């Protein structure tokens, strides 16, 4: 099954703000660890090995959003 690349977050700006706030005051190392934990939590929600493999391949090839 192909990955859903359509906008799927009801309030993406609010999520982005929450993500930025979660990183406030963290060192680079702590921020990277938070990102790693978040990835594991979200990967667990997806659960499907093939979908996760597709997501990894896509993430390696896609450009970062503007401003990142």
- pLDDT tens sequence across 15-30: 999 999 999 999 999 9
- pLDDT tens sequence across 1-11: 788 888 889 99
Angle separating helix axes 49-61 and 28-46, nearest 10 degrees: 140
pLDDT-derived band at 45, boundaries 50, 70, 90: very high
Distance, CA of 34 to CA of 26 (rounded, Å): 9
User: What is the pLDDT at residue 63?
Assistant: 79
Read off the pLDDT of each residue in 30-40 and give the average, rounded to a whole number. 96
Domain ranges of the chain: 27-60
Q: Report if pTM > 0.75.
A: yes
């Amino acid at each position: 099954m192909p990955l859903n690349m359509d906008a799927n977050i009801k309030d993406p700006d609010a999520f982005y703000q929450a993500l930025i706030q979660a990183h406030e005051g963290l060192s680079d190392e702590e921020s990277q660890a938070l990102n790693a934990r978040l990835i594991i939590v979200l990967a667990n929600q997806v659960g499907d090995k093939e979908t996760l493999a597709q997501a990894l391949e896509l993430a390696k090839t896609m450009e970062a959003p503007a401003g990142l």
